[in-house]
Structure formats: structure tokens, C-alpha cells
Amino acid sequence: MLSAGLRCFADPRLGTSGVSFVIKSHLYSGENSEIGSSEGLFGQPERNLQSSIAFRPSLPSPGMAKGSGSPSHSLSYFYLQLPEPNQGLPQFSIRSYLDDQPIAHFDSLTRKMEPLVPWMKEVEKEAFLAPERVFRADLEKVSKLDRHAGGLHTWQAVLGCELREDGRKGGFLHYGYNATDFISFDKETLSWVATQPQAQKVEEKWEEDPEWTEKIKVYLEETCIEGLQRFLSHKKEALQRIEPPVGKVTHKVVDDSLEVLICQAFGFYPKEIQATWTRDGEVCQYETLHRNVVPNSDGTYYVQLSIEIDPKERDHFQCYLEHEGLQEPLVLAWKEETATKWWIYMAIVAVIILAPGILFLSCWRWKCRKKRHQEETS
């Protein structure tokens, strides 16, 4: 339930209508990224094929270093391999991400690299498919485990690199089996780390080939970084523009004493945006529920934030957006008038759609009565 009285405060830096909450992506810190977390890369075991395909490890997102304008970036490839084509699904597929933006897709059905952002059309196909050589042969070898297990099993892998804000380079290669962690590569020690008992034999076998592990390290620290820098260059040339956000406010009624105001900002670039709810010009930072900034398919971004309020105080709340593409902050509020007009419009549309049907039904009933009356009098 809504607490009695929202505690909002003024931001001294930006005045009474200012914003103090800055929505940014996760900042990489420390020697170990989120990839090595104990929670696992690929989630819990899934019971069906579709759910096991939907793997998405938690990767370091691009961030801004404190006290500098130098962002960190990552390039990652996500792989899925099935024992055989199934239900129209490809046996093998790759999806690549630049930071948190999906940029290309490839699968064994089309055998074509499909750009997911316009600027990827300028990237040569070989640059996209290069990492396939790093792991494909090993997946085929280790997939022999499927022969000893019944049912349909899936192999996943995530491979990529990071160029961090302080100039350091990072790399990662992890394998998953049926949507669970299986084995990972530690490039600092040139060793493999099994995370399941059945992966122990794989670890022992791969440890016997130091030349192969050295090649993987070179790929992660050099080849992948070169690809990351090349992709960033293509993206920068294509996205020199600055796109301001387009915003709107909607609301959801919970009960007579509580409703939720929802502020949405669409189509902005670059990613960094300041957004919050204010009450009479004071920032409602702790009362605001904000979601992560997420990418759109065209390379721009979207964000949504909401706040629970007393409907009687609705007129006191405004959504405040500040972005590089705006000459001045965009201030939005829920307007009952807009909602009323919308309902009127919908009512008119409903009448237009239903009127012919009502007229037809009335005529049909009138004809039936007339015919019945004629039969009774004849």
C-alpha cells in the first residue's frame, strides 16, 4: 500500500524541478565480471526445448567510468547447438551483441548472416563468423555425451571480450549443457574449470592440449578485441546523430485510494538519460520504480519508470526527462482530459462499428414479425 505522504526532495544542483537519478548501464568493476558469479550463466535446468534455448548469460554492460568520459564496451557471441534440427528450429545458431545491443544473427538453416541493426550491413561476413572456429569442433566432440543420455539435449556457449574503461582487456568462454553451466575457460591460467561432474573428463582432455588453449587466449585478447573496435567504429559512423526521447504518461488504477503513474521514454540515443518523478518540483527518487534502459531494434533506447500515488494528489506529479538530445528538460504529466478524449474516441469508433450490425438485426427482426403477421392473417 501507499505510505502516508511521499517523501520527495529537491535537488540542489538542478533547482526545484531537477533530477538526481541518472539511469546508466552496469559499471564493470573488479577483476572478475558477473560472468563468474556463483548463480551460474545459463540458469536452472529447463524441462522443454523452447525454454532451454532461451539462455542469456548476465554479461557486463557498457558503463561510464567515474570521473571520466571513457565508456567500457563488450562484444559477445551466443551459440546454440541441437543434436539435430527439430520442429523447424536450426541445428546451430549464433547471435552476437555489441554491449547490450543485438547486432547480428546466423543459423544453419539460412547459412546467412542477418544484420539486426542497419550499420551491420557494412560488416564483412567473415568478421562475424570468425569465432565459430574457436569452439565448433570442441562442441562436436563433447556432444558425444548425448549418446549416453536419452532425450533431446542442447549445448550452449558464450564467447566474447571486453575493453574496459581503464584500458584493460577481458575475455570469456563458457559452455552450457541443457541450460546449466558445464565448463569454462580461465584465460589467465590457461586452464579449464568444470562445473558439473560429467565435465571432468572434458576438462582433463582439453587440458592435454596447451596449444589449443593458447590460441583461445590469443583470440580473446587480440582477434576479438580487434573485432570489437571495428564494430564500434562502424556503429559510431552510423550513429553520429543524437536522438531525443519521445515521452508519454499513462496510469493504472489499483483501487479508490491508489493508482500507478507510468512514464515512458522512447527512441533516444545515446543511452544515458536522466529520468525521475517529481512532486511539486521535488525529486521522488526513492519512491520511483525504474526499469533498466533497454535497446530497441533500430539502435535507440527505451526506459520506463512508475510511481504509486494517491489519486487525489495526481496533479502534483510530473515525469522529468533530461537527455543530450533535448534543448531543455521534457516535463510530462498525466492529463485526465486526454484520457476522456480517448474514451470518447473509442466510443465513437464502437458506435461506427456496431451501428450497421444493430441496424441489420433490427431490420431482420422487423421482417420476421411482418412475415409472421402475414401468415397469421392469411
Give the amino acid at 22: V
How confident is the prediction for the chain on average, in pLDDT? 72
pLDDT the model gives residue 246: 93
The answer to whether 177 and 153 are in contact (CB under 8 A) is yes
pLDDT the model gives residue 1: 40
Helix (H, G, I), strand (E, B) or coil at 376: helix
**What tens digit of pLDDT does each residue of 158-196 get?**
989 998 888 888 999 999 988 889 999 999 899 999 998
Q: Provide the grid cell at 171.
A: 575475455
What single DSSP character describes residue 223? I
Question: Given phi > 0 = left and psi -120 to 50 = alpha, else beta, which region is 318?
Answer: beta
**What tens digit of pLDDT does each residue of 306-345 get?**
999 898 888 899 999 999 899 999 999 988 655 555 556 5
Residue 203: in which H helix or E strand, if any?
A: helix 200-207
CATH number (1.10.3720.10, 3.90.25.10, 2.60.40.10, 3.20.20.80) of 246-333 reads 2.60.40.10
The answer to whether 319 and 251 are in contact (CB under 8 A) is no
The answer to whether 277 and 288 are in contact (CB under 8 A) is yes
Give the amino acid at 274: Q
pLDDT the model gives residue 184: 92
Domains 72-240 and 246-333 agree in fold: no
* Residues 224/76/294/82 CA torsion (nearest 10 deg): 150
How many CA atoms are closer than 13 Å to the CA of 104, on its beta-carbon side?
Answer: 25
pLDDT more than 90, % of the chain: 16
Least confident of 83-92, 100-109, 137-146, 353-362: 137-146
Judged against a pLDDT cut of 90, whether residue 87 lies above it is answered with no
pLDDT more than 70, % of the chain: 60
Residue 66's pLDDT band (boundaries 50, 70, 90)? very low
pLDDT the model gives residue 300: 84
The answer to whether 215 and 171 are in contact (CB under 8 A) is no
Judged against a pLDDT cut of 90, whether residue 126 lies above it is answered with no
How many residues does the structure list for the chain?
A: 378
Structure-model confidence comparison of residues 131 and 358, the more confident one: 358
Phi, psi for residue 219 in degrees, rounded to 5: -60, -45
Pairing of the two strands 301-309 and 258-268 = antiparallel
Q: Provide the grid cell at 255.
A: 483501487
pLDDT the model gives residue 26: 26
Q: Where are the domains of the chain?
A: 72-240, 246-333
Least confident of 117-131, 153-167, 283-297: 117-131
Judged against a pLDDT cut of 60, whether residue 135 lies above it is answered with no
pLDDT the model gives residue 61: 45
If you write DSSP's letter for every residue of 284-344 in order, what string do you get?
Answer: -TTT-EEPPPEE-TTS-EEEEEEEEE-GGGGGGEEEEEE-TT-SS-EEE---HHHHHHHHH
Structure-model confidence comparison of residues 190 and 373, the more confident one: 190
Pairing of the two strands 273-279 and 101-107 = unpaired
Judged against a pLDDT cut of 70, whether residue 33 lies above it is answered with no
Residue 249's pLDDT band (boundaries 50, 70, 90)? very high
Judged against a pLDDT cut of 50, whether residue 365 lies above it is answered with yes
- pTM score, whole prediction: 0.57
Structure-model confidence comparison of residues 2 and 173, the more confident one: 173
Over residues 125-148, mean pLDDT: 57
Q: Provide the grid cell at 95.
A: 547471435
- Report how far residue 326's alpha carbon sits from residue 323's, in angstroms, rounded to the nearest whole number: 5
Residue 346's pLDDT band (boundaries 50, 70, 90)? low
CATH number (3.30.500.10, 3.30.450.20, 3.30.565.10, 3.40.190.10) of 72-240 reads 3.30.500.10
Q: Provide the grid cell at 321.
A: 526527462
Judged against a pLDDT cut of 80, whether residue 60 lies above it is answered with no
Residues 6 or more apart in contact with residue 238 via CB below 8 angstroms? 117, 118, 119, 122, 299
- Report how far residue 173's alpha carbon sits from residue 302's, in angstroms, rounded to the nearest whole number: 30
Q: DSSP H helical segments within 210-333, as ranges?
A: 210-218, 224-238
- Report how far residue 81's alpha carbon sits from residue 79's, in angstroms, rounded to the nearest whole number: 7
Q: Provide the grid cell at 121.
A: 550491413
Judged against a pLDDT cut of 50, whether residue 248 lies above it is answered with yes
Judged against a pLDDT cut of 80, whether residue 144 lies above it is answered with no
